Amino acid sequence: MTMLSIRNLHAAVEGKSILKGLNLEVKPGEVHAIMGPNGSGKSTLAHVLSGRDAYEVTEGSILFQGKDLLGMSPEERAREGVFLAFQYPVEIPGVNNVYMLKAALNAIRRHRGEPELDAVDFLKIIKEKAKLVQMDERFLSRAVNEGFSGGEKKRNEILQMAVLEPRLALLDETDSGLDIDALRVVAHGVNQLRRSDRAIVMITHYQRLLEHIVPDFVHVLAGGRIVKSGGRELAVTLEERGYDWLKDEAA
Amino acid sequence: MSTGATANLLPEFERVFARLPGDARVTERRRAALARFAASGFPSQREEAWRYTSIAGLARRQHSVATDAQISPDRARAALAAAGPWDGPQCVFIDGIHRPDLSAAVAAVGLRIRPFATAVAEDSRIGERIAGWGAEELAPMIALNAAFAADGVVIEVADDAEPADPLRLLFVMTAGVRDRAIFPRVIVRAGQRSRLILLEQYLGESGADGFTNTVTQVHAGEGARVAHYRLQDESAKAYHVGNLIVNQERASEVVSHSLSFGALMARQDIHVMLRGPESSVTLNGLYMAEGRQHVDHHTRIDHFEPGTRSEEYYKGILGGHGRGVFNGKVVVHPNAIKTDAQQSNKNLLLSRDAEVDTKPELEIYADDVKCAHGATVGQLDEDALFYLRSRGLDESAARALLTYAFAGDILGRLGIARVQKDLAVRIAGRLPGAAELLEVV
């Protein structure tokens, strides 16, 4: 069964049309990479999938596990199992990392009809998961992303993904702002989270992330549409030749 | 200018003065204070200090001044429970009148606590210390309290004494008597190098629509350290006008926390006079208003001497049609070189109809001073809201969490753990969707 099915998606921001007929099918267990030049609509796709209300869908449909994703609020999407790792994780002063994650996980568990976790059980889980991204426990009790470096923020995103255990994870430019060591840690964390019943969609400008998280499929987004799809070798071609040769195909 | 409206308070004085504490000399002083009040009446919005705050409702009332404390044992128990647990010493007041039977004894070396009525009756010198008794320059609302002050407490801390336990003064306004008017007076004298932690807590029975007009005077002797907490959570129909007057001697340190949640109309004036060199004051505040509530803080700090420091940190959360006012005045007098005065007021508006007026006022007549102020008015961060929702929190829970976080650093400044906890619950209890919050606080 298809996990995510995007059909003829058109989306606009402030009246400006960005996505112009995007199609994408993602099955459980698959890792997809969506690449493309700046302004091609990559981030818009991530925002539309997560339910950001500044983005207006003008045409098309998105089904997630057979349900109409566009009809769901951001929190409903999260509870159904969609997770977005933000390109720019938000700093939230005064809100404790552990508390936020516990509230989030329990909201998701309630939705699934599972019992809520108490503080003790939750701490066990989060400490376990923190190891996955080599995150110091001190960060857990700090305010969400406050004063975190770029790398720490991205690691925190992957930690959240590990705790919330989504069906579909969207990684929006997760490699941006990372040095090579931090990239390895983050990629290692993501690889540990690959599962046969979980799909991952990575949105990235550069091929370098794909050396560490090897995708099953690579798609090139240009002019608001996917103009080429292939295996991981497509990423290598893009690295060598850039995006220009595809713009002609898009036109 | 003002309207001169005094409602029925002049005849009311004739009705009750014989039951107010003090001898004939005290009564004369009360009459003088009443005359001072009558000369201007309740402040009107034409006065700059009351521009944003209307207490016109008070000028039309038929006030019933409380001179005794009537409450059934059941209701007393309920009021104490609503106030939150307190295992330390406390004085309980019903409609402004001390109730020793509901209070908890105080036994600490160097600490003397007397009910106001007792102190005035047995100590004629106390009259000299009552602000408003003989001082014509005072604000009308302080003079009004001076005229009617029926009870309260006089607290004296001996030199070098450091009573360990915080002392709570709990003021309960009862429901049932229409237009109840209550005039408590608290007088604190902290001796040299002494230490005192004091909590004044005001609450009302549900539906209590009375008027509390309270004055607290604090004198901090040389090197004394006084922490003053004020938690106002009266019933949603009450009027509350409070005054805190602080005089500080050399190298004394005073911290004030003004926490205002209740009442339909709440006005708090704080006036600090740094009269001794190297004395310092910190004013912290948190106010919340929702529905049709109105909350106004007017603070004034006078730096009279060199090397004095003041820090002011106020936050407001306004929802519904709630209205907040903050006015922070700092006056650096010519002699007060090396003054350091910092002021910050931050406000969070939770609805389109909520409103806040914030105004810093700096008057600097000395050179070589460091003064800074900042005020902000904002809404919840939409990016943060979305971030939380994208993790599965519903919108109301996300809003509650961010609102609670906004107040968080004020909570962190509270030195009494029990007050901190109590306040956290009070804040969370006011936020829709905050049920889950309660488990963290």
Work out whether the CA dihedral B116, B120, B122, B127 comes out positive or negative.
positive
Three-state secondary-structure class, residue B47? coil
Per-residue pLDDT of chain A (251 residues; tens, 9 = 90+): 899 999 999 999 999 999 999 999 999 999 999 999 888 999 999 999 999 988 999 999 999 999 999 999 999 999 999 999 999 999 999 898 999 999 999 999 999 999 999 989 999 999 999 998 899 888 888 999 999 999 999 999 999 999 999 999 999 999 988 999 999 999 999 999 999 999 999 999 888 899 999 999 999 999 999 999 999 999 888 888 888 887 666 55
* Exposed e or buried b per residue across B88-115, where buried means at least 16 C-beta atoms within 10 angstroms of its C-beta: bbbbbbbbbbbbeebbeebebeebebbb
- In this prediction, residues B108-118 reach a mean pLDDT of 91
The torsion angle over the Cα atoms of residues B410, B413, B418 and B424, rounded to 10 degrees, is 20
Confidence (pLDDT) at B441: 43
Cβ atoms within 10 A of the Cβ of B238, count? 27
At B403, list the tokens: 């609102």
Three-state secondary-structure class, residue B301? strand
Q: Is A54 on the interface with B (CB under 8 A)?
A: no
- Alpha-carbon distance of B79 to B92, in angstroms, equals 10
- Between A156 and B105, whose confidence is greater? A156
Q: Over 60: is that where the pLDDT of B16 sits?
A: yes
Mutate to test the interface with B, among A43, A48, A52, A75 (most CBs of B within 10 A): A75
Confidence (pLDDT) at B263: 97
Are the C-beta atoms of residues B69 and B99 closer than 8 Å to each other? yes
Within A81-216, residue ranges assigned H as helices are 97-112, 119-132, 137-140, 150-164, 180-192, 208-212
Q: Over 80: is that where the pLDDT of B134 sits?
A: no
- In this prediction, residues B135-152 reach a mean pLDDT of 89
Are the C-beta atoms of residues B171 and B199 closer than 8 Å to each other? no
Q: What are the percentages of helix, strand and coil residues in chain B, rounded to 5? A: 25, 35, 35
Nearest CA in chain B to A109: B392
- Between B340 and B25, whose confidence is greater? B340
Q: Over 80: is that where the pLDDT of B316 sits?
A: yes
Which tens digit of pLDDT belongs to each residue from B237-286? Answer: 999 999 999 999 999 999 999 999 999 999 999 999 999 999 999 999 99
CA-to-CA separations, B58 to A224, B6, B133, B174, B292, in angstroms, rounded: 65, 9, 23, 18, 16
**Closest approach of B31 to chain A, Cα-based (Å):** 52
Three-state secondary-structure class, residue B308? coil
Strand-by-strand arrangement of the A168-172 sheet: A82-85, A168-172, A199-204, A31-35, A217-222, A225-230
Interface A–B counts its CB contacts (< 8 A) at 79
Q: Is B207 on the interface with A (CB under 8 A)?
A: no
Which tens digit of pLDDT belongs to each residue from B173-224? Answer: 999 899 999 999 999 999 999 999 999 999 999 999 999 999 999 999 999 9
ipTM: 0.96
- Alpha-carbon distance of A174 to A194, in angstroms, equals 16
Q: Is A74 on the interface with B (CB under 8 A)?
A: yes
Confidence (pLDDT) at B14: 96
Confidence (pLDDT) at B408: 87
pLDDT confidence band for B439 (50 / 70 / 90): low
* DSSP conformation letters of B121-142: HH-TTHHHH-TTSS-TTS-HHH
Mark which residues 202-241 of A lie under 8 Å from B by CB: none
Nearest CA in chain A to B387: A90
Q: Is B401 on the interface with A (CB under 8 A)?
A: yes
Pairwise CB contact (< 8 Å): B392 & A105? yes
Nearest CA in chain B to A163: B391
Confidence (pLDDT) at A247: 67
pLDDT confidence band for B1 (50 / 70 / 90): very low
Pairwise CB contact (< 8 Å): A92 & B384? yes
Range with the poorest average pLDDT among B60-69, B136-145, B153-162 = B136-145
Beta bridge partners of residue A11, listed in sequence order: A19, A57
- Between B438 and B323, whose confidence is greater? B323
Cβ atoms within 10 A of the Cβ of A233, count? 9
